[in-house]
Structure 1
Amino acid sequence: MMLGEMSGAGLTLPVMMPLAGGDWSLALLLWSIPVMLIAALVAFMPIANEVEETTQATSQTCQLAPPSTLPRWNDMHVWQYGLLLASSVVAFYVINAYCASVLTSRGEEYALEELIFAFNAMPLLASFVLLAAPNWVGLRTPLAIAAVFAVLGLVGFIFAAGWLSWASALVCGFAATIELILLVSLPPSIASGIAVTRLSAGMSLLGFSLAFICTLVGGYLADWFAWTELALLPALVFMLAALFMLGRKASYPEYQ
């Protein structure tokens, strides 16, 4: 997943756009080629009988699944973890979405390609860090530290300029990825069975929906007030508010 994100966001400007002659439509078409090749390989790949039987059994189980597999929206844990997830996702959304506009407004558009690539390489680096520290999952302190550094990184990107702003964006990307991975890994570490499905579904729906809305609102405000950096401020406010969702316990309780 991290390699896909880095490739799509980081290689489009320096590699795909020149190949497409500067045409965004053609660049997207070129990116669709590996996707279609993978889909074709999967479609014609032979599947063992036991895998087919497992798939059929899973399908029947899903059809008979009770309503309890749906998120419980009256459960504060769903909202707590969902808001935290949104605060990590929105950091990626706003910097990727508005990096070009921010750099152009500062006369720093020459750094766009390198910054976008480096920013989207941070998730890959962060994933290797967490491979070396799997015991961080479920603990409050690593999550809190990552959340704080993500906020500080976004502050630096908004209010600084030049290399300090670029470095701050990388800090934000790295820290937000640590936060994201810790949160995505949380449900299976504190729950089991259907509870994992309920919690993961609720967190994901809240996290990605709120991050998208927050990014969209920032863009409208930036256009309305003709201030480019304003596009990032709603995300910053949201990330600051989400810090209060971290809780006080050293580890997150078992979820049922």
Structure 2
Amino acid sequence: MRYWLLKASRLFCSLLTLPLFLAQVFGLRSAYKRVFPLLAYHITFSYNDKVNRMKKELFRNVCGFANSDGSLRLLEIGCGSGANFQFYPYGCTVLCADPNPHFETYLKRSMDANKHLTYEAFLVASAEDMNELDDECVDVVVCTLVLCSVRDVKMVLREVRRVLKTGGAFFFMEHVVSKPSTWTFFLQHTLEPLWFYIGDGCTITRATWKDLETAGFSQLHLQHIEAPVTSVIRPHIMGYSIK
């Protein structure tokens, strides 16, 4: 019974998104690419307040991957408006990459507010193809709330491993699908079609930890947590992998 209820609820939600689907087919959603960075910028403040302790815990040992001279080159993929800058260690060099060029205005605001960092460049690039970057060119790669919206998680993780130096680390924090027995799982699968359009491609039913487990890193430190946020994205994973 629950299976058919889930199917019916998802179908109903999918029908509600039909105008959004047609708008995308005919190229009418391009304006949303300009609006979404503004929405994301303001949502960032609320999200960071709620997960502040979690992010401090996540990034506390980033400086441990610095070079012998103390330098540390960090790449953030899907950097958005720079929500993580405040958590990075003093003096590190930050390279930003995001496929949406309209984030740059809000990114600069975060740069101005975090003068303890050195900013190298903003690359307009998808995480699946960062061909502007050389092999093994960064010490740390970071992504938070990014793997939910990329086209191919496995391809992104291959790119992460390519640009990371041997011994470097990939730090992540992502919302993931809940356990099948929960109502959160039901809501995630029901609302996913609508959430996808509102969240500019965000998928809320990914078991991202499985991709991380098979990505070929030499070490994986991962924990499942419940973030103090909206119930449909409450299940999270966080941690880091070492190349």
Would you say same fold, with TM above 0.5?
A: no
Higher relative contact order (CA 8 A, sep 6+): 1
Q: Name the TM-score, length of structure 2 as normaliser.
A: 0.25
Q: Name the TM-score, length of structure 1 as normaliser.
A: 0.24
Structure whose residues are more often helix by fraction? 1
